[in-house]
Amino acid sequence: MRPQDIIKKKREGGTLSQQEIQFLIDGYTSGKIPDYQLSAFTMALFFQGATREETVALTHSMLHSGIVVDLSTIPGRKVDKHSTGGVGDKISIPLAPAVAAAGVCVPMLSGRGLGHTGGTLDKLESIPGFRVDISLDRYVEILQQIRVCMIGQTHDIAPADKKLYALRDVTATVESIPLITGSILSKKLAEGIDGLVFDVKVGSGAFMKTYDDALKLAQNLVDIGRMMGKDTVALLTDMEQPLGYCVGNTLEMLESLDVLRGGGPDDVVQLTVELGAYMLKLGRSVDSIEAGRQKMSQVLADGSALEQFLQLVKLQGGDPDVIMQPERFRRTAHQQAVLASRTGYIQSINSEEVGIASMMLGAGRERVDTVIDHAVGIVLKKKVGDNILKGEPLCFLEYNDDARLQEASRKMEEAYSIGDCLPEKRPLILEVLTHS
């Protein structure tokens, strides 16, 4: 078998066998096949697409390039959630401990923020001492104790994905749905899970800007997951404005703690409850989605989700005192308002612009090696549909570096659109997909 023959076959629209795909992925991961040949393959795949069977073979090869965690010592089904990323998307933080408190094991492998979208690991690391780089043995121990653990991708998990992701980033093949599917599922299935709920974001702050593109990705994720023997469901959710009112690592942690205390913004609570209900159903802890919603609402209201998170923080090295006394979180030295230029109703908030403004303040990364400032970020005072008077604050920028303020402030002015009429209300949950 020669790489160039396989590349040519795909370039001309042929269907690759499982053995051919395995040969390419194994060779690339081991260093026997160079970047330039895999670049040609990913571009051929980008233009020609892939069958469901090819995508399964790709995902299987990437998954088995590393270890798959064995969680058979933990009773019951194990279920996780994956979000395609958005602005203000702190859902994993209240969701994982709440689902665990409701009785289902949640092994969660999370990512860092890059570009305008935030990352769960960065938010967790705003808690002093919290470690996301623990060993897989310790990960299993924590799951055995409290049914939830939240860590980053280790070098043992899907090493082929790490190499391929970096290659896609510099060869303009990031948007390939088969490659996105393989990347997501190879990491998630390595956790040792039985079921997976996808939160596929749609809109200005999402990776998929249009409904049709998001629908294609969601259907692909659900179908490939099922073909690989996992129970899957996907929710298409709105990202035309940020989730909640806070964007930035510490700020989003504080908002997550509000949810875990039984409060928090309506949209964050709604999405936490809805995703949790589907996770509980896949975990066979409840018989219906409505029973799942009731159970999720109960654990958020009665303090058991907060207690579960407190245990998680302790076991992963974090300071539990800041959870009970949030005023102890490190905050910024300065705060500045962005004011409305006219009276009217908020028509739209460009989520991507908000994410970029937050990144400009230091909350996010333009490059993988950027050092972030956990404390900085943006607190929205007005959301879509709210009435505002000229000169009222649209939002507050929380910052430490004066040099970063002006450009971020201008971005936020551009992000808001104000008009005379009350805009039509958009649903948060756009569609639920089970299988084709």
187 a catalytic residue: yes
183 a catalytic residue: yes
Q: Pick the catalytic residue from 78, 163, 187, 201.
A: 187
Q: Pick the catalytic residue from 90, 147, 163, 168.
A: 168
* 267 contacts 428 by C-beta, under 8 angstroms: yes
161 a catalytic residue: yes
Q: Pick the catalytic residue from 89, 122, 161, 267.
A: 161
Q: Pick the catalytic residue from 10, 60, 81, 82.
A: 82
With tokens 């908000």, the residue in question is: 354
> Rounded distance, CA 322 to CA 422, Å?
40
Q: Cβ neighbours of residue 164 under 8 Å, at least 6 residues apart?
A: 28, 38, 42, 62, 179, 182, 183
Question: DSSP secondary-structure letter at 326?
Answer: G
Edge-to-edge order in the sheet of strand 195-202: 79-83, 195-202, 231-238, 429-433
List of long-range contacts for 424-429, beta carbons under 8 Å, 24+ apart: 425/385, 426/238, 426/240, 426/384, 427/238, 428/237, 428/238, 428/267, 428/270, 428/271, 429/235, 429/236, 429/237, 429/238, 429/270, 429/271, 429/274
SS3 content of the chain, % helix, strand, coil (to 5): 45, 15, 35
Of 187, 196, 230, 235, nearest to 215 by C-alpha is 235
Q: What separation in angstroms does the CA of 195 have from each of 136, 198, 232, 282, 347? A: 20, 10, 6, 6, 38
82 a catalytic residue: yes
CA angle 252, 168, 435 (to 5 degrees): 70
> Rounded distance, CA 424 to CA 95, Å?
29
319 a catalytic residue: no
**Residues labelled as active-site residues:** 82, 161, 168, 183, 187
